[in-house]
Structure 1
Amino acid sequence: MPRESPYLQVVDALRARIEAGEWEVGDKLPSRSRFAAEYSVGQSVTQRALERLIIEGLLEGRAGSGTFVRTPRRRMRMVRTRRRVPNSGNAFRAEALEHGFAASWDARTVAHTPAPDHIAARLAIAPGDPCVMTRYEFMADGSPAELSQSWESMALTADTPVVLPEDGEMRGAGVVARMRSIGITVASVLEIPRPSRANQAQANLLGISVGSLITEIERTYLDSDGRPVETADLVIPDSRYEIAYAFPIE
């Protein structure tokens, strides 16, 4: 079994018991040794599990007193919807305007990046074809909210004013508006969400623990002919944001 598996099992078990109300807000939890015996693990494993739940905001440690259940940190809902706020720019900015949080982000773009096999398949290009790759770190009200790695084929955008997503007059305008400015109509988007656990790099950027639950979304924008024009991998921390999909009935 993976080395962290017992630790993650204890975290999930304790989280479920807390959320089920086995201990009320303000209650003191049993000792590490009791949990260690109950789950047949070492005390270091139960200590890590409790520390993880403190990071998530379910518990608080009081020096010399023990570990107590606290009022849970508010978990925001991130709604994925067809309805867009006019002139809202990129998708994250649209979510911010719709749900009332302040959006900001850092972006790092590298042009002429050869497309890896899996990205080439998603963009319907040949492996190694030149792409523009942009890494984003999104913030909501100053807290890490989302990571994204975006890929666009340079066959579509080379020698145009929008070849770099975060430069020029169309900076921050989003894929739909940028493509429209060069005569490409984005008509649909495909999103594939997958549950996962944070690796070290993701945990460092999102301010969470290694192994924390995350949602990974594979997103691809397509034009009116069904041609992929951009694909991205989004990473969202589960402890802070839940993903909801809302669509009108046609």
Structure 2
Amino acid sequence: MTFGEQPAYLRVASDLREKIANGSLPPHTRLPSQARIREEYGVSDTVALEARKVLMAEGLVEGRSGSGTYVRERPVPRRIARSGYRPASGATPFRQEQAAEGARGTWESSSEQEPASAEVAARLDIEPGERVMRTRYVYRDGGEPMMVSTSWEPLAVTGRTPVMLPEEGPLGGCGVVERMAAIDVVVDNVVEEVGARPGLAEELLALGGVPGHVVMVVERTYYASGRAVETADVVVPADRYRISYHLPVR
């Protein structure tokens, strides 16, 4: 193979990808069999198999037990809005921003105390094993799961206060900024890091994805005078949504 030349399996995958993109292989159409790919492209069984694996890893096709491999219907990505402004209504950013987008957002949550893992402790700058309140959310738009989120708050900050449970009490359902302000903790900045990775099994189960699907992860941490008061992972299916930021210019 000369410099810059693609391996055979990538060239086959590229041609099949183009056929999917231009409609020659429309959604729900069965992908050519391994034997058909081998014959049509003059490649080995191994090359044909690897090309199919590439398309599956990219989420363009899916296997159906006992039936074969089919072209997936590609949804038009929708927007999940995030912004740097503080909600004036007391609602969380998700509630306010999705309302602004006309989304029919609903959510479910559950909270429980647990010892902080090493990773969570590092993000909150506390000792591993210190108690935190973990809250898990599933957000839906029109009944369709759109994102899952897990947040952790150090009980050294919120324990034995009216805001210890994020979704209960007098400020249940309000954003972190408003809840912390109620216990005289002034949140003054937030850091978000966005990355991508294959979805975990439990995430894909909640989001309606299949193994191998890629998710975007927003790792968010709120700070008050340099002290982390909440950290969260917001997980979004990459094939269905885009994360859009609306940030003020100072």
Give the deviation of 1:69 after TM superposition.
8.2
Give the deviation of 1:175 after TM superposition.
0.8
Report the aligned-residue RMSD: 3.5
Measure the CA separation in 2 of the matches of 1:198 and 1:28.
26
Partner of 1:240: 240
1:194-249 Cα deviation digits (max 9, x unpaired)? 111112211111001111011011100011x1211100111100111011223232
Partner of 2:112: 110
Measure the CA separation in 2 of the matches of 1:168 and 1:29.
53
Alignment of structure 1 residues 30-41 onto 2, 5 Å: 31-33=32-34, 34-35=36-37, 40-41=47-48
Give the deviation of 1:85 after TM superposition.
4.6
SS of equivalent residue, structure 2 residue 231: strand
The amino acid that maps onto 1:96 is Q
Task: Note closer, same or farther for the CA distance 1:242–1:226 as it changes in structure 2 (3 Å cut).
Answer: same
Quick check: 1:138–1:145 contact (8 Å CA) kept in 2?
Answer: yes
Partner of 2:7: none
The amino acid that maps onto 1:167 is E
Task: Note closer, same or farther for the CA distance 1:201–1:13 as it changes in structure 2 (3 Å cut).
Answer: farther
Quick check: 1:85–1:98 contact (8 Å CA) kept in 2?
Answer: no
SS of equivalent residue, structure 1 residue 162: coil
Give the deviation of 1:16 after TM superposition.
5.1
* Ranges in structure 2 where 5+ consecutive residues have no aligned partner: 1-9
SS of equivalent residue, structure 2 residue 56: helix
The amino acid that maps onto 1:239 is D
Task: Note closer, same or farther for the CA distance 1:134–1:24 as it changes in structure 2 (3 Å cut).
Answer: same
The structure whose Rg is larger is: 2
SS of equivalent residue, structure 2 residue 169: coil
* Ranges in structure 1 where 5+ consecutive residues have no aligned partner: 1-8, 56-60
The percentage of aligned residue pairs carrying the same residue is: 30
SS of equivalent residue, structure 2 residue 60: helix
Alignment of structure 1 residues 136-155 onto 2, 5 Å: 136-155=137-156
Alignment of structure 1 residues 1-250 onto 2, 5 Å: 17=18, 21=22, 23=24, 31-33=32-34, 34-35=36-37, 40-42=47-49, 45=52, 49=56, 53=60, 72-87=74-89, 89-111=91-113, 113-223=114-224, 225-250=225-250
Measure the CA separation in 1 of the matches of 2:231 and 2:131.
14
Measure the CA separation in 2 of the matches of 1:121 and 1:102.
36
Give the deviation of 1:73 after TM superposition.
2.5
Measure the CA separation in 1 of the matches of 2:164 and 2:116.
16
Aligned length: 230
Deviates more, 1:130-139 or 1:34-43: 34-43
Task: Note closer, same or farther for the CA distance 1:170–1:129 as it changes in structure 2 (3 Å cut).
Answer: same
Task: Note closer, same or farther for the CA distance 1:185–1:26 as it changes in structure 2 (3 Å cut).
Answer: closer
Give the deviation of 1:13 after TM superposition.
5.0
SS of equivalent residue, structure 2 residue 181: helix
Measure the CA separation in 2 of the matches of 1:97 and 1:84.
15
Partner of 1:4: none
Measure the CA separation in 2 of the matches of 1:78 and 1:15.
31
